[in-house]
Chains A and B, each alone.
Chain A
Amino acid sequence: MRTGLTAKDFTSSQEIRWCPGCGDYAILKSVTKALADGGADPDNTVFVSGIGCAARFPYYVETYGFHTIHGRAPAVATGLKLANPDLAVWVVTGDGDGLSIGGNHLLHALRRNTDLKILLFNNEIYGLTKGQYSPTSRIGTTSPSSPAGSVDMPVSPGQFALGAGGRFFARAIDTDKRGMAETLEAAHAFEGASLVEILQNCIVYNQDVFAAVTDRATAAEHQLHLTHGEPMLFGKNRDQGIGFDPERFTLHIVDAQTSPDAILVHDETNLAVARMLVDLTIPMAFGVIYRQPARTYEDDFYAQHPTKMKRERSVADLIAGPSSWRVPKAG
């Protein structure tokens, strides 16, 4: 814990190379603020990234940073965390980096529950390679590599995380300061693999892909902000809510005025409901959707290790193996 630091203290002197207007700027601001507010210690904090626009992130944060190779940040971060479990390790990735080329590593980081704070900037497009469709692009996305529209089914980061056995999944919008602050704070505090999906606007290659959800005019009807223990209400006057339809085994929208009792109270430890919440489109769920702490991988790794990785025997004692023999000096 370090107190007295501000967001500015976490901002490096490096010149930022994102396109002007990119959603990444807002995310960077929120992250540096969350670090300061959360009492992060710059000497003890590391940002690890792969490749892509998002992966430039470590250069702009005044902490330790490692810009690695495409898709592999979770693997590098896992080794780092095992080497020094006291570090706070953040992974910054994107939809291509984390769910396409690096999908395997993300899967295993989540199921192991390694204590990594993973920020997945989802802009549904490949930015750095100039606009090809990505694994989260919606069907029909036209791009230089899919001029007639993409035909592959997009992956849902939320379903992926929960399916992999992830213990923390949250969602936020790049420019939503409050939502970002809440989810980042929760991710920061969580001990285990926390995946935060951030809807990030790529103004160059996928401008306004989230407009329906993020437009001020329609936001209230399209965003469901979740708080543990609170009813799932949304709408301009919070007059609508989310209920459970037992016949179809799905969530549905209910009128908060006429059927207040039918509205679900958010229980972030309920995996079954979380699986349904991550797939809601209108409204889309934000905040901490699922949080169920468990022992971390590094906790168990060290607990099982007989000497907690310390050197308690010299190789000199073990070199002879189970049986050795002596050849005496001649004569």
Chain B
Amino acid sequence: MIKTKDVESIVVRLAGDSGDGIQLMGSQFAVSTALSGADFATFPDYPAEIRAPAGTLFGVSAYQINLGGGPITTAGDSPDVLVAFNPAALRVSLPMLRQGALIVLNNDGFGKRSLVKAGYGTDPREDGTLDHFQVVAADIGRLNLEAVAEFGLSKSDGGRCKNFWALGVLLWMFGRDLAPIEAWIERRLADKPTLRDANLAALHAGHAYGETSELQAALPQVELREAEPEPGEYRSITGAEALALGIAAAGELAGRQVLFCSYPITPSSPLLHRLTRLWETGVGTFQAEDEIAAICAAIGASYGGMIGVTSSSGPGIALKTEAMGLAVSAELPLLIVDWQRGGPSTGLPTKTEQSDLYQAVYGRNGDTPMPVLAAASAGDCFDMAIEATRIAIRHMTPVILLADGYLSNAAEPWKLPDFDAIEPIAVPPVPAPSEDVSPQRQAFTRDPQTFGRAWITPGMRQLVHRIGGLEKDIDTGHISYDPDNHQRMTDLRQAKVDSVADFIPDQAVEIGPDRGELAVVGWGSTYGPIYQAARRTGASFVHLRHLSPLPGNLRELLSRFDKVLVPEMNNGQLCSLLRDRLCLETISYPKVSGQPFTIAELIERIESELEGGKLCARG
């Protein structure tokens, strides 16, 4: 039973067919949550197929949101409320639910055929399956059709309004204001008045249902304890939105235009879509013919003086590998965003993973080092896009920024940064034409601290020179096959990436003491669950944003702990990296299921480490 007033946070899961409009309903509920002042985190979980066969288990689309008084950093382990539109949605979600959770079912979705498709021999509403839950079975389909009957829509068009009907119920449950959602429908469907009115009617009908139905007693109204966020202006943001803004911001901070070149791939495409809406900030978007063309065009743009950016997920990043080497060799700035997903090969395109760390750090031919960073949360994508671009320009090098499928779609409240307070990105100065020094040499004269060279671009007067992927003389910049020179250039490329560490802040402890029994080390989107697990167990939490090079003090910091536990959504890649770079033995806690860590499983593992004495081997 969900109690009123004293709930710290509550997890709501919406599930149905991919055609049921679950993602839309979820994102609107998130907007409403944001406007109500609660803290929240979301997890859209949808199938890889665009229109998966209706009613099947693999066609279930779900949207989970955790909301409450905060700090909320994950979408929650076990839902307290489930809205299920059909038996498949129920079946897939049931194992996750908390005992006693409230289940709102759409009766009209529970026909015989749908039960069979979901693999139910008997009706779960009647066979005792739901005994440990509170069940509200409503004729959502029928009630919705009645509500929209007056608009003369076809049965299928009318049926499609049922997500707003259900949203109406949900908004009533949480005592939310309908106005922002109404405004959104009016904006979105301004040119389709019939659909607009039908959706509004469905929303109102659902809301009225909550208020007037006899089931009122069963549908508890929830009033959450208010979040106590820092004062300031907030918005709801997904990782893709934040990264797009971060890229545009980096361009503005450097005083350069941005050309974003990419090829559509899940889950990277939302970034491309977002950036098209930021054109006015001096951003252009180019949809290339393939992944290789995308990075090559971005390299061409950087060569031409814009900030070249490309983005993909693991398989596409693999295709871009050779071109990354070109950018390293030509010493051009470039930002490469990798939205990691489940692998190998096509793997689990819509699920999340952190398994491209090796690829990012080690995955190139030749000795071809590149800086690698990772964003921790949706909002952090903004900061990391700026940081990655800053490094790319300062050191004249391509940089990989790791994000993942979870971050791309997940939304969280984000305190707006004070844009004017962000330090501008300094661009290495261009030398004046000289009688004594050839432009070829000028182009490859490097800053002694950053090893960044001058960003001379075609069109500049009297600085004609040539660049390319062949090894070049360390001083003159001309082609060179000299053995000693190749050694020196290899050393220089490594020194350049190593020098990044001189510019990044020392690694700090996120929460917990800076020495002691156990440090939990995370990177990327595991920030949320690890933060909560550490907070509740008292373990120290160290979160890495710079993965290559690692912060200079990291080894010393981690050495102050008896044990270091590394949970990550891959088979232990950061663990190997720490051993390689810091000669540090850590305990690996891998999870490769395409699903984020739950707080509960992390707490369990941390507690067992805290009880279990010293362990040096990988777990």
Considering the complex, which residues of chain A in the window 69-126 have a beta carbon less than 8 Å from any beta carbon of chain B? 69, 72, 75-84, 86-87, 104-105, 107-108
Task: Point out the residues of chain B lying under 8 angstroms from A305, CB to CB.
Answer: 279, 284
Q: Is the CB of B323 within 8 A of A319?
A: no
Encode contact with B along A33-70: 1 for CB under 8 Å, 0 otherwise. Answer: 00000000011111010000000001100111111110
Total count of chain B residues near the partner, CB < 8 A: 73
Q: Does B293 contact A (CB under 8 A)?
A: yes
Q: Is the CB of B464 within 8 A of A64?
A: yes
Q: Does B458 contact A (CB under 8 A)?
A: yes
Q: Is the CB of B293 within 8 A of A82?
A: no
Asked if A64 meets B466 with Cβ closer than 8 Å, knowing A80-B300, A105-B293, A319-B245, the reply is yes
Chain A residue nearest to B322 (CB atoms) is: A69
Q: Is the CB of B459 within 8 A of A87?
A: yes
Pick from A108, A306, A327: contact of B289, CB under 8 Å: A108
Total count of chain A residues near the partner, CB < 8 A: 59
Pick from A66, A81, A84, A325: contact of B37, CB under 8 Å: A325
Which among B234, B237, B288, B297 has the greatest number of chain A C-beta atoms within 10 A? B297
Q: Is the CB of B259 within 8 A of A82?
A: yes
Q: Is the CB of A327 within 8 A of B231?
A: yes
Task: Point out the residues of chain A lying under 8 angstroms from B303, CB to CB.
Answer: 66, 76, 79-80, 83
Q: Does A311 contact B (CB under 8 A)?
A: yes
Q: Is the CB of B290 within 8 A of A87?
A: no
Task: Point out the residues of chain B lying under 8 angstroms from A63, CB to CB.
Answer: 464
Q: Does B264 contact A (CB under 8 A)?
A: no
Encode contact with B along A291-331: 1 for CB under 8 Å, 0 otherwise. Answer: 00000000001000111011111111011110111111110
How many whole Å from A216's CB to the nearest CB in chain B? 37
Q: Does B12 contact A (CB under 8 A)?
A: no
Q: Is the CB of A314 within 8 A of B419?
A: yes
Asked if A68 meets B304 with Cβ closer than 8 Å, knowing A315-B245, A318-B281, A324-B235, the reply is no
How many whole Å from A254's CB to the nearest CB in chain B? 42
Q: Is the CB of B458 within 8 A of A87?
A: yes
Q: Does A14 contact B (CB under 8 A)?
A: yes
Q: Does B364 contact A (CB under 8 A)?
A: no
Q: Does more than half of chain B's interface fall in helix, strand or loop, or is it mixed?
A: mixed
Q: Does B467 contact A (CB under 8 A)?
A: yes
Q: Does B251 contact A (CB under 8 A)?
A: yes
Question: Complex: how many Å from CA A67 to CA B279?
Answer: 31
Question: Complex: how many Å from CA A74 to CA B270?
Answer: 26
Considering the complex, which residues of chain A in the window 1-38 have a beta carbon less than 8 Å from any beta carbon of chain B? 12, 14
Q: Does B461 contact A (CB under 8 A)?
A: yes
Encode contact with A along B242-260: 1 for CB under 8 Å, 0 otherwise. Answer: 0001001101100001010
Question: Complex: how many Å from CA A320 to CA B251?
Answer: 18
How many whole Å from A56's CB to the nearest CB in chain B? 9
Considering the complex, which residues of chain A in the window 124-142 have a beta carbon less than 8 Å from any beta carbon of chain B? none
Q: Is the CB of B235 within 8 A of A321?
A: yes
Question: Complex: how many Å from CA A319 to CA B249?
Answer: 9
5 new A-B contacts, CB < 8 A, other than A66-B300, A82-B300, A321-B235, are A44-B458, A78-B293, A83-B257, A306-B280, A314-B419
* Pairs across A and B, CB under 8 Å, 22 listed: A48-B300, A66-B300, A67-B466, A68-B299, A72-B296, A75-B288, A75-B293, A75-B300, A77-B300, A79-B298, A79-B308, A82-B297, A83-B303, A108-B288, A305-B279, A315-B248, A315-B252, A318-B245, A319-B417, A321-B236, A324-B235, A328-B231
**4 closest Cβ contacts across the A-B interface?**
A79-B300, A83-B304, A67-B468, A311-B282
